Structure 1
Amino acid sequence: MELNKEKDGGSDSNSTARHEKEESGEFTGKIKKFLNNVTVEPVFAMYLFPSTLAGIAVQNLTLEKACRINLALDTNICDGMSVRNTSMYNDTDEIDVQKLVAGIYAWKTMIQSIIPSMLLLFLGSWSDRQQRRKPCIILPIIGEALSSIGCLVCTYFFYELSAEYSVLAEVLPTSLTGGWFAMHMAVFSYVSGICSVETRTVRIGAVSTFSYVTYTVGLALSGVVFLAVGFYGVFSIALVLEIIGVLYAYIRLKEIPKNENNANETSKHNFLRSFFDWKHIKETFTIVFKKGKRNRAKRISVIMILVMIICGPQYGEYTVLYLFTRYKFHWDEFQFSLFCTYNAIVITAATILSLSFFSKYLKFDDSLVGIISGSSKVLSSFVYAFAPNSTIFYLVLSYLLPCKSLIKCTNIGTLLLGKVYSLFGVCEALMPLVYGPTYTTLYKATINTMPGAFYLVGGFISFPSILMFWWLYSEHKKDIKQLEEAVPLKERQ
């Protein structure tokens, strides 16, 4: 009897150990599967986080040089503006500095817009033909690293180089390598190419969420890190992270296998002639805007316009937002980064909750959610413009549906994703060219009377998005009706 009990106890302990081993194996397998699926996310972080972290430092470098070198104001005045001590300077001093910087930002946004938009047209077509996304991912990070080096040089030669040189050092390397727009196109094309059709939406959503989180963390730390380590520290940290990003992308990322025809073209010596061949640009527009099922060409056109009237005001507002909050509420770097972090968290949470509630629970189409988001943008613009204090400014919520979430409505195949994303990227890249000078010029003209006037312009421009989302919603209803009519027809056959 006791022997049998011992045997039973031994078998129970063996089965328990075997069960624990199986669970451990399953957990290890899940970890390995997760790590294998992590591909482009770290390199995206090593691009986005340093550029966001250095954002306030770059703007402060321009403001400091404008005050101390370009305008040659008294050292005490510039010191007071730097620490936001209003007893050491007058509002007129702040206005003079901001008007100068706003003028510089006008041509800065032109450079940021023209060069990447031209480059994107060729990059998207070349990337699709060669099925190569890796160079398009690495190139923008190299540009950011060169920009960090340029900012370090401008900091070292602070009194020798004026504000214009610091802006050129920041903007030229990133623009010539495609910048954010090329990185965005390459990353999402890469993710779309390595995923199955079933997992593509989830994977793209995960990368988008990851980018929002990275951006938010960068904003949260930007003011704190700048106050702690100064210009040299911020730009050095950014440079180290960008170098790590380049090395990771070169070692870890694998290209999607390509066919022989594409491989042969890569080996030829006329690479530059092939890359900058205008016939590929014509081909991009011809293929993407080719008539297809369910008004595909019209939908692409409408969504491209939506990108322009949604992303445009966002770029314009961000160009002058730091200047606006410095003048209107006397914020310093920490207060501004705190607001941006809070705003990013609230908008991200609102986006996730609204998409899960409206799309998943209420089964709303994305275009209907777009109508709601467009309305919130228009209404919030008025509150932002007339906010009497920072508390009211904090309470405003402006939520906008990302236009790229509507690309699935265009009925585009996987092989054309590079062309589609490049066209959307071109539209996005051209927006600073239009909205940057417009908003900076408007801010310069109204800073003495109504500094928040640019928000009213943003609300006015965003209003047509409501009508366009409504048209997309009506097209969606037609799609449902056609599908419902097609099902009984198949049953009769």
Structure 2
Amino acid sequence: MGTPEEKPLKKDKTIKKKTFKEKLASIKENITVEPVLACYVVPSTLAKLATQNLSLDKACRVNMAYGDKICDALIARKGNLYMKEELAIQGLIALMESWKNVLLTAIPSVLIIFLGAWSDRTGKRKICILLPLIGELLMCLSNILNAYFFYELPVEVTMFFEAFFPAITGGWITTYMGAFAYISDVSSKDSRTYRVGVANLCLTAGGPIGSVLSGVLLQKIGYYGVFSLCSFLYLFSITYGFLCIKDPERIVTEKQNLNEPSGVRSFLKSFFDLKHVKDTVQVTFKNGPNKRRTKSILILV
């Protein structure tokens, strides 16, 4: 006979096994934003090489007016034969990339402060997740038009719209913010870490998949094929999101209901209220247990 200390170790804990149908139902119940994230990252990396080549192609043939022989060699990565021309094109692309990156970071950085505060007040996460996908879809459609009107539109127009549409819709940072906020709202404490892990898996696995396929697809189906495929994936993701993702239910108090803006002007005034910027900064640097403020500052640094 065992000692009292040994008895708990010998206890048999019977765990009820789920049936196959119950497992499928559980998977279906827990899948929400994951397909949207996968269909955001894959086409974005898939289109990256085609976008770079389109800009390089336009800079060479349209802006610099070099011949087909030189441009074909540069696109085929045989620039060692035409070093002077390659340096001239790289200088032009680098200039375009400098203001393109400013546009892609400055606008979303300002927008996310107001959008995040508005999403927290209203509980609307779906629009934060899907809005950047609409921007990416518009970017792909603009690239199709730029490929069609190849010699009519210079590289400046192409690269401007590559940055403009994603920037004004919030960019990847808005989708990530909305997705993880949504997971936090709808998941339990027991499943939250697991679901965040699955979401991160979709984000990290999608990149290599798109990168591996980008070169092959560009060679086989060209600009039209790649951008059309990416547009289809974005459209599928947006449609799925609108139909399958539901904003979490909120308990609205009478005071909140009265403060809710009714007209367009009232909405814009409430959305771009500078008080929310102040609140965001205060929350970031608010002192808390376990040296939270110090940790926040170190992360920012």
Query: What TM-score comes out, normalization by structure 1 length?
Result: 0.55
How many Å separate the matches in 2 of 1:131 and 1:216? 33
The separation in 2 between residues aligned to 1:84 and 1:275, in whole angstroms, is: 48
Aligned pairs for 1:70-469 (under 5 A) are 70-85=63-78, 89-261=81-253, 262=256, 265-266=259-260, 268-269=262-263, 270-305=266-301
C-alpha distance in 1, partners of 2:73/2:259? 60
Letter in 2 for 1:299: K
Aligned-partner residue type, residue 32 of structure 2: T
Q: Identify, as 1 or 2, the structure richer in helix.
A: 1
Contact 2:134 2:234 in 1 (8 A): yes
Query: Which of 36, 39, 42 is equivalent to 1:43?
Result: 36
Name the structure 1 match of 2:4: none
CA distance in 2, matches of 1:149, 1:290: 44
Q: Is the 8 A contact 1:71 1:97 kept in 2?
A: yes
Could you tell me which residue of structure 2 aligns to residue 32 of structure 1? 25
Q: Structure 2: how far apart are the matches of 1:64 and 1:173?
A: 21
The letter of the residue matching 1:64 is D
State the shift of 1:95 in Å.
1.6
- Once the two structures are TM-superposed, the CA of residue 278 in structure 1 deviates from its matched residue by 0.6
Work out the CA distance in 2 between the residues paired with 1:28 and 1:286.
48
SS for the counterpart of 2:59 is helix
Map Cα deviations across residues 262-317 of structure 1 (whole Å, 9 max, x no partner): 45544622111111101011111112321111111111111122xxxxxxxxxxxx
Paired with 2:79 and 2:246, the residues of 1 have a C-alpha distance of 54
Partners of 1:130 and 1:147 lie apart in 2 by: 29
Partner secondary structure for residue 255 of structure 1 = coil
Q: Superposed, which structure 2 residues align to 1:13-32 within 5 Å?
A: 26-32=19-25
What is the CA–CA distance in structure 1 between the aligned matches of 2:273 and 2:205, rounded to whole Å? Answer: 38
Contact 1:151-1:170 within 8 A present in 2 as well: yes
- Conservation of the 8 A alpha-carbon contact between 1:141 and 1:242: yes
Q: CA offset at residue 199 of structure 1?
A: 2.5
Tell me, which stretches of 5 or more residues in structure 2 are unaligned?
Answer: 1-15
Distance 1:157 1:120 in 2: 34
Once residues 104 and 282 of structure 1 are traced to their aligned partners in structure 2, the CA distance between those partners, rounded to angstroms, is 34
Give 1:84 deviation, angstroms.
Answer: 3.0
- Shift, 1:96, TM fit: 1.6
Q: Distance in 2 between matches of 1:298 and 1:259?
A: 34
Gaps of at least 5 residues in structure 1 are: 1-21, 306-493
Is the 1:52–1:218 contact (alpha carbons within 8 Å) kept by the matching residues of 2?
Answer: yes
The alignment partner of 2:19 has SS state of helix
8 Å CA contact retained: 1:45, 1:211:
yes
Using structure 2 for the length normalisation, give the TM-score. 0.89
